[in-house]
Amino acid sequence: GAGVSQSPSNKVTEKGKDVELRCDPISGHTALYWYRQRLGQGLEFLIYFQGNSAPDKSGLPSDRFSAERTGESVSTLTIQRTQQEDSAVYLCASSLAGGQGAAGELFFGEGSRLTVL
Amino acid sequence: LAKTTQPISMDSYEGQEVNITCSHNNIATNDYITWYQQFPSQGPRFIIQGYKTKVTNEVASLFIPADRKSSTLSLPRVSLSDTAVYYCLVAAYSSASKIIFGSGTRLSIRP
C-alpha cells in the first residue's frame, strides 16, 4: 500500500479480554516499530523488528504484551487480559533501514485507539 | 541511546519565527538528529534530519552547533496549522536499534 496501515482504528473492549492489533508496513520496509501513546503523553517504545533478526522486546511493559512479525510483512500486537491502564493509541511505524540516518525515516500509521472498560 | 531534553510547551503567534531547542549532551559520533511533528489523532511525521551545521528544507531549518550537544528546529512564519507536538530524536546511523521518542514540545500558535 501507499502507507502504513493499522487496524482496527478503534477498539473498545472489556477488562480481561484479549485484543489483537494489526500493522501492515510499507512494502519493502525491513524495520517495524510499535509504540504506545497514552492521552497527552509522548510515544512509549514497545518493540522493534528488523528483518529476520530477533526482535528488540525491551519496551514491552509486561508479559501480557507480545508481538509477532512474519518476515518483512504484517505484524500483530497482542495484549492479553487487558487492563484499564492499557487504554491508549498504539502506533506502528516502518522504515527502510533501522531508523537511522537519512534512509531511516520512520513512517507511521494512523494508530489503533484501544479503550478498555 | 542519547537522551534529549526539550521544552514541554511553547506559544507563538501567526507569522512569527519559532525556534525549538533540544539538548542532547551525550550525543555520540555516529548519531544523527531528527525532528518529527505530530498532529492530534495522527502518527508523527518526519520533518528534518541533520548531522552538523545547518540543514534547510521546504518546511524548516535545523541548526546544529559544532559540539552537536544541542540542535534548534526553526519554523519560519508559522501559521495556525503548525500547532502540533514536535519531537527531537538522536539515533546512530548504523545497523538496527530501537528509536526512543522523548516527551516532545507542544507548540501552540495563536491568531
The span from the CA of A115 to the CA of B102, in Å, is 24
Query: Looking at the predicted structure, is the pLDDT value of residue A3 above 50?
Result: yes
Nearest one of A89, A29, A93 to B44, comparing CA atoms: A93
Per-residue confidence at A80, pLDDT binned at 50, 70, 90? very high
Query: Looking at the predicted structure, is the pLDDT value of residue B103 above 90?
Result: no
Which residue does chain A place closest to B96, by CA atoms? A98
Query: Looking at the predicted structure, is the pLDDT value of residue B96 above 70?
Result: no
Residue of A43, A90, A95 best to disrupt the B interface, most CBs of B under 10 A: A43
Average pLDDT, chain A: 91
Cell digits of residue A63? 508479559
A9 part of contact set with chain B, CB < 8 Å:
no
From the number of C-beta atoms within 10 Å of its C-beta (0-12, 13-18, 19+), residue B12 rates as: middle
The span from the CA of A42 to the CA of A35, in Å, is 10
Report CB contact under 8 Å: B92, A48: no
Å between B97 CA and nearest CA of chain A = 6
A53 part of contact set with chain B, CB < 8 Å:
yes
Report the pLDDT value the prediction gives residue B92, as an integer from 0 to 100: 75
Query: Looking at the predicted structure, is the pLDDT value of residue A103 above 60?
Result: no
Which residue does chain B place closest to A93, by CA atoms? B43
Per-residue confidence at A116, pLDDT binned at 50, 70, 90? very high
A70, A74, A78, A84 alpha-carbon torsion, rounded to 10°: 160
Report the pLDDT value the prediction gives residue A79, as an integer from 0 to 100: 98
Per-residue confidence at B74, pLDDT binned at 50, 70, 90? very high
pLDDT in tens, B5-62: 999 999 999 999 999 999 999 998 888 899 999 999 899 999 999 999 899 999 999 9
Å between A95 CA and nearest CA of chain B = 11
Query: Looking at the predicted structure, is the pLDDT value of residue B77 above 70?
Result: yes
pLDDT in tens, A14-60: 999 999 999 999 998 888 999 999 998 999 999 999 888 889 999 99
Query: Looking at the predicted structure, is the pLDDT value of residue A76 above 70?
Result: yes
Which residue does chain B place closest to A10, by CA atoms? B41
